[in-house]
Amino acid sequence: MQHIQLGAIDYTILIVYFAFVLGIGWVLRRSVKSSEDFFLSGRSIPAWIAGLAFLSANLGAQEVIGMGASGAKYGMMTSHFYWLGAIPAMVFVGIFMMPFYYGSRARSVPEYLKLRFDEKTRGFNAVSFAVMTVFSSGISMYALAKLLELLLGWSFHTSVALSAVVVLAYIFLGGLTSAIYNEVLQFFLIVLGFLPLVLLGLKDVGGWAGLTAKLQTVATNAGFAPGAWSASWRHLNAASANPMGVEWFGLVMGLGFVLSFGYWCTDFLVVQRAMAADSMTAARRTPLLAAFPKMLFPALVILPGMIAIALHVTRGGLLPIGSDGVPNYNLAVPVMLAHYLPSGLLGLGLTALMASFMSGMAGNVTAFNTVWTYDIYQSYIRPGRSDGHYLRMGHAATVFGILLSVAAAYATTRFNNIMDMLQLVFAFVNAPLFATFLLGMFWRRTTGHGAFFGLLIGTAAAAIHHGLVLPYGAVPGLKGGFLGTVLHTYSSEMAQNFWTAIFAWTACFVATILISLLTRRNKSDDDLKGLVYALTPRLTDHDLPWYKRPATLGAVVLGLTLVLNVIFW
């Protein structure tokens, strides 16, 4: 692939952006006086800022590059990740879960698990989460460096060093506040950087009508019904009728319920942003306010991929073809940037792309340093020290968190399989987690042993299911079937993942209930005040104007999402 030539103006935009990012860290360094300031922004962030950061922290490489790639590969069905997956889960976490997270004054998700269950459940979650965040941030760094190498011809080392130093500097200086402020900046940059691309692309293909007409060719060429790339629900009756290879039940339960709720409700990376909010109402409104822009994100991240595949098929040769003869979908968005944007806006678009990678990295690093310091260091290594001691540890954790991410990025260049394997293991650990939280928050009889062993059994169920099934056309190994016999073949990897999650969740749910009934309660009703639904006083929000009430906001969000689903049915 030919390298993109950047002009002086493009470099200037990039440099100005870096100056602002570092400047924000520099200005905020004075506001960090205690560990609570560093890790939780002193719980002083207004709802709208926390909401945009909530979105942005998740807006890493995975979203911008990955959703564009999925838009090209699966078309409009990719919107399920938003309108079926993310949005309902965000409403749920805002209305039902935030009262316990924020109200318990827990400083992290693992700490909530300790308050609600016991030490071992917290330890398990803290350690697996810490390892996972370091690797996710390493993967982000790796993906960014690879992309810049391919697009601009920059050396891999330069890109890794640059992103590591910038992210390190602004988190080290200003802690979570700095990360959050930069995430808000990055949010607007991503919107303003990608929107012209979408508008130009749409104009080029002849609007939505022109796009659907071209996507019919894409669909029929691939052997599907003509509308398969431009409808979200219509072709879900059978897994063989749509490019994603899933049927509606696996999609709704696997993606819509287990995976999305598991991610948005239990992942400390996003929950941390809401915990930093300045009041209970603000914490509850954080995910709800985030849901409004999130709802429109498919237009920004999925649409470019759909336009790219439409142009690739009807005009020929837009996307580079990989060695396996399949277009390289991951390049859909970068190729579109180079295709439409002239010098000037190209700089803005590339800066937005980098911003998205860096916000993803920073989100992981801030979550890592908090969980490491509070849940591992303060709990097991050096308890009972002064707050200043833990603040210094937070700074140190930021440095070695970044160093470990760099190491992970380089490990990926050597052993691609190790990273795939780790991601698989983490998927097994994460899939059942939502069952534990659901039972913990709504059933006071759930015991510490029940939660811990339920989680282990759920994780094992995920691994066993994965080991006994294969996606269509894959060989036994990392893709599944490693237990020797293949009991079932799914029509796609996506379908396999959804069902692994469903099995893991169900196993954890059932096992936690059974073990809880067989073991003695380790927390009395008094201990569980503020941690369990039935034992927490109902929050009243009648003193708020209607548009600020979480329940009203949630209903509006869900209503609008339903409308979007119907429009693009």
Partner 1 sequence: MKWDVRLPIGLMFSIFGAMLTCYGLASDRAIYDRSLGIDVNLWWGLVVLAFGLVMLGFALRAKRPAP
Could you tell me which stretch among 83-91, 184-192, 239-247, 388-396 binds partner 1 (CB under 8 A)? 184-192
Instruction: Verify binding: residue 181, partner 1, rule CB under 8 A.
Output: yes
Query: Which residues make Cβ contacts (< 8 Å) with residue 566, sequence separation at least 6?
Result: none
Of 39 and 117, the one with the shorter C-beta distance to partner 1 is 39
Q: How do the residues of the chain divide into helix, strand and coil, expressed in percent and rounded to 5?
A: 75, 0, 20
- Residue list 148-177, contact with partner 1 (CB under 8 A): 177
Least separation in angstroms between residue 315's CB and partner 1 is 14
Instruction: Verify binding: residue 192, partner 1, rule CB under 8 A.
Output: yes
- CA-to-CA distance for 441 and 279, rounded, in angstroms? 21
- CA-to-CA distance for 219 and 334, rounded, in angstroms? 23
Of 15 and 381, the one with the shorter C-beta distance to partner 1 is 15
Instruction: Verify binding: residue 299, partner 1, rule CB under 8 A.
Output: no
Closest by Cα among 12, 338, 372, 370 to 153: 338
Closest by Cα among 446, 450, 490, 483 to 468: 483
- CA-to-CA distance for 243 and 111, rounded, in angstroms? 41
Of the residues 1, 5, 11, 12, which one makes contact with partner 1 according to CB under 8 A: 12
Instruction: Verify binding: residue 344, partner 1, rule CB under 8 A.
Output: yes
**Cβ(551)–Cβ(541) under 8 Å?**
yes
Of 314 and 506, the one with the shorter C-beta distance to partner 1 is 314
What is the full DSSP assignment across 30-50? GG--SHHHHHHGGG-B-HHHH
Q: Which two tokens stand for residue 171?
A: 């988190």
Query: Which residues make Cβ contacts (< 8 Å) with residue 391, sequence separation at least 6?
Result: 32, 34, 35, 38
What is the full DSSP assignment across 362-376? HHHHHHHHHIIIIII
Of the residues 1, 16, 403, 421, which one makes contact with partner 1 according to CB under 8 A: 16
Distances (CA, A) of 451 to 163, 440, 507, 518, 519: 39, 8, 12, 12, 11
For partner 1, what does the binding mask look like between residues 109 and 128, x meaning CB under 8 A?
Answer: --------------------
Of the residues 87, 169, 179, 184, which one makes contact with partner 1 according to CB under 8 A: 184
- Residue list 22-81, contact with partner 1 (CB under 8 A): 23-24, 27-28, 31, 44, 46, 49
**Cβ(381)–Cβ(127) under 8 Å?**
no
Of 192 and 555, the one with the shorter C-beta distance to partner 1 is 192
Of the residues 343, 413, 417, 522, which one makes contact with partner 1 according to CB under 8 A: 343
Of 196 and 530, the one with the shorter C-beta distance to partner 1 is 196
Of 20 and 546, the one with the shorter C-beta distance to partner 1 is 20
- The site for partner 1, by CB under 8 A, has a size of 32
Instruction: Verify binding: residue 203, partner 1, rule CB under 8 A.
Output: yes
Read off φ and ψ for residue 233, nearest 5 degrees: -115, -25
Instruction: Verify binding: residue 451, partner 1, rule CB under 8 A.
Output: no
Instruction: Verify binding: residue 342, partner 1, rule CB under 8 A.
Output: yes
Q: At residue 47, what is the residue type?
A: A
For partner 1, what does the binding mask look like between residues 346 and 365, x meaning CB under 8 A?
Answer: --x-----------------
Instruction: Verify binding: residue 340, partner 1, rule CB under 8 A.
Output: yes
Instruction: Verify binding: residue 185, partner 1, rule CB under 8 A.
Output: yes
Could you tell me which stretch among 118-126, 157-165, 321-329, 336-344 binds partner 1 (CB under 8 A)? 336-344
Least separation in angstroms between residue 13's CB and partner 1 is 6
- Secondary structure string (H, E, C) spanning 477-508: ECCECCCCCCCEEECCHHHHHHHHHHHHHHHH
* Binding region for partner 1 (CB under 8 A): 9, 12-13, 16-17, 20, 23-24, 27-28, 31, 44, 46, 49, 177, 181, 184-185, 188, 192, 196, 200, 203-204, 339-345, 348
